[in-house]
Structure 1
Amino acid sequence: MARKLDNKIALVTGATSGIGLATAQRFAAEGAHVYLTGRRQAELDAAVKSIREAGGQATGVRVDSTKLNELDALYAQIK
């Protein structure tokens, strides 16, 4: 059965907890490969692990969204 986001890419910033994490988990459950960003590596790793353990696809990228050079690098990685 096709899911709504099969073969799509989603980027969720601030995805290590709360609404961001819940959004990332939902997108992954709907079939998206989710790129999660956050500033704390340990929390980012835990979030990615939770999505993968549920059968989703996730990539964690440590990014400070206030720094343009880090956002440029993130864009290049996803592209």
Structure 2
Amino acid sequence: MNGECVPTGRLTVSPTADESLRDPAAGQTNDLTMRPITGCEELDLSSQLPYFLNEELVDDLARGRRRPEWMRVALRGDRLLATAAWRS
């Protein structure tokens, strides 16, 4: 990262890295998508769920304590269901 990470204020959902879950035995498709965020431009998306550490994400990304590939979102369509993030 270039040391500057500024959330855009826009909520976007990237279709990349779609990992939709399927249960072929049941003949059903689950529309749940779990994927890493694409970068600091998706911090607004991953911060939709209230959590006291959300304010630290920008600085953590800028300092390399977190990486986008360590930050996951679970989506159903455009609706954020869960987040998970690891840091070093």
TM-score, normalization: structure 2?
Answer: 0.26
Task: Mark the structure with the bigger radius of gyration.
Answer: 2
TM-score, normalization: structure 1?
Answer: 0.28
Answer 1 or 2: higher relative contact order, Cα 8 Å, separation at least 6: 2
More helix by share: 1
More strand by share: 2
